Amino acid sequence: MHHLRYKLDTINTILGESRNSVRAAISSGFLANKLQIPFDVRTVELIEEALKTGDVDLLISDVDLPGGDFIDLCRRIRNHELNVDPFLPIIAYGNIEPRRLNQILEAGVDHILIMPISIQALITRILGIIERRKGFVVTHDYVGPVRKSSQHEGVPILEAPNVIKAKATNDAKALLEAIEGQRKARQSISTHRIRAQAKQLVSGVQILEEMLRSGARAKADEQVEFLRRMTLEICERLDDTDYDHTRDLCHQTLHSLTKISDSETPIERDVALLKPLAMAINASFHDDEKTAGAARHIIELVNADAERRANAA
């Protein structure tokens, strides 16, 4: 029996369920399997409050829990927008139509169960996480477990720290290593995320240039706003990385995007500056000297142009 191999009572679980009958069935099944539910909540807001305690190892919830957007909460957890472990194991369940499955998976959950669910199916998923946690991938629009080998081809796979395995096996050394792994992995997520976004920024600027050339101003305004949000997120994430020197480039990019947005007919020079700025941001996250040198050269050109503008004003 699994409860003879693992100390499941050491795993602190949040259960998000508003229906009394379902809550009672899951709680009873967990008790029979020596699992603890110290956080038994009925709304998405209360899940977020429970997460703030910092003492949560596993999240299990109905995807249609009231009081907020559970899918968005999962996405914010994975993107490290909340001050919680972005690798927190998440099991979602509910009366889910097939068309919603992909949306839930893209929020980064570990497993999805379709109602009605059995306690055995739930326990099996928990044991699966303990025994073989999937690696994580980070792209510009997804953070979560690897889904298909071809889906994220070429994207580095991060090892997910497995805190609940260390707890369930009562391995104090492994627990300390997993906690330290969480800290390093959080920084790694931020770095991988901004690298992916920086690459996307370059292609996004090229799309904007094509829109402006074709006179599609309404679409161009939407693209400017998309690029602005992406640049802001890159800038905000720099605090968790070794790339703080890129902040000035982000500010210059935001300045150019604002000038383009505010002008009925964007000045060609402002549009032309965006591409080298985006390329410099992207290049600044590469560690090889050749690429770093190219980034420094672009920065010098941008700074020289800014100085010429200031002198001409």
CATH number of the domain to which 197 belongs: 1.20.120
Same domain, 134 and 219: no
pLDDT at position 149 = 54
Q: Within its chain, how far is the Cα of 150 from the centroid? A: 20
Q: pLDDT category, 47, cuts 50, 70, 90?
A: very high
Residues 70 and 125 in one domain: yes
Average pLDDT over the chain reads 86
Which among 46, 42, 69, 65 is positioned nearest to 56, based on CA atoms? 46
Res 299: pLDDT? 64
Q: In this structure, is residue 183 part of a structural domain?
A: no
Report pLDDT digits (tens) over 131-173.
Answer: 989 999 888 788 899 987 546 666 778 888 899 999 999 999 9
- Of 312 and 75, the structure prediction assigns the larger pLDDT to 75
For range 23-30, the mean pLDDT? 93
Residue 159, C-beta contacts closer than 8 angstroms, at least 6 positions apart: 135, 136, 181, 185
Is 23 part of a structural domain of the chain? yes
Write down the pLDDT at residue 70: 97
| 137, 29: one domain | yes
- Dist CA 184 CA 21 (whole Å): 41
Q: How many residues does the chain have?
A: 313
Query: Does position 220 have pLDDT exceeding 70, yes or no?
Result: yes
Q: Examine the domain organization and report whether 54 and 145 are in the same domain.
A: yes
Looking at 170, 203, 238, which one is the last position of a domain? 170
pLDDT one-digit tens code per residue, 230-287: 999 888 878 766 777 788 889 889 988 998 988 877 777 778 889 888 988 888 877 6
Let me know: does 29 contact 15? Beta carbons within 8 Å. no
Which has more confidence, 104 or 158?
Answer: 104
Domain boundary among 170, 205, 229: 170
**pLDDT: is 156 or 227 the higher one?**
227
- Per DSSP bridges, beta strands 36-41 and 136-138 are unpaired
Whether 125 shows a pLDDT value over 90: the answer reads: yes
Residue spans of beta strands (DSSP E) within 155-244: 157-158
Residue 152 is predicted with a pLDDT of 63
Instruction: Clarify whether residues 148 and 289 are in a common domain.
Output: no
Quick one: 14 and 131 in the same domain? yes
Residue 182 domain-assigned (yes or no): no
Instruction: List Cα–Cα distances, 276 to 159, 201, 263, 271, 273, in angstroms.
Output: 34, 11, 21, 10, 6
91: Cα within 13 Å, side-chain hemisphere: 23
166 and 194 co-located in one domain = no
Least confident span in 10-14, 55-59, 93-97, 286-290: 286-290
Cα–Cα distance list, 60 to 44, 229, 306 (Å):
12, 31, 52
Same domain, 82 and 122: yes
Q: Let me know if residue 178 belongs to a domain.
A: no
Q: Are residues 15 and 157 in the same domain?
A: yes
Residue span of the structural domain in which 287 resides: 188-312
Q: Domain boundary at 143, 170, 197, which?
A: 170
189 or 216: whose pLDDT is higher? 216
CATH (domain of 86): 3.40.50.2300
Choice among 97-101, 216-220, 225-229, 304-308 with the minimum mean pLDDT: 304-308
Q: Determine, yes or no, domain membership for 127.
A: yes
On whether residue 180 sits in a domain, the answer given is no
175 in any annotated domain: no
Residue 297 — very low, low, confident or very high, per pLDDT cuts 50/70/90? low
Q: What is the dihedral of CA 58, 64, 69, 72, to 10 degrees?
A: 60
Number of domains in the chain: 2
Q: Is the model more confident about 122 or about 154?
A: 122
Q: How confident is the model at residue 301 (pLDDT cuts 50, 70, 90)?
A: low
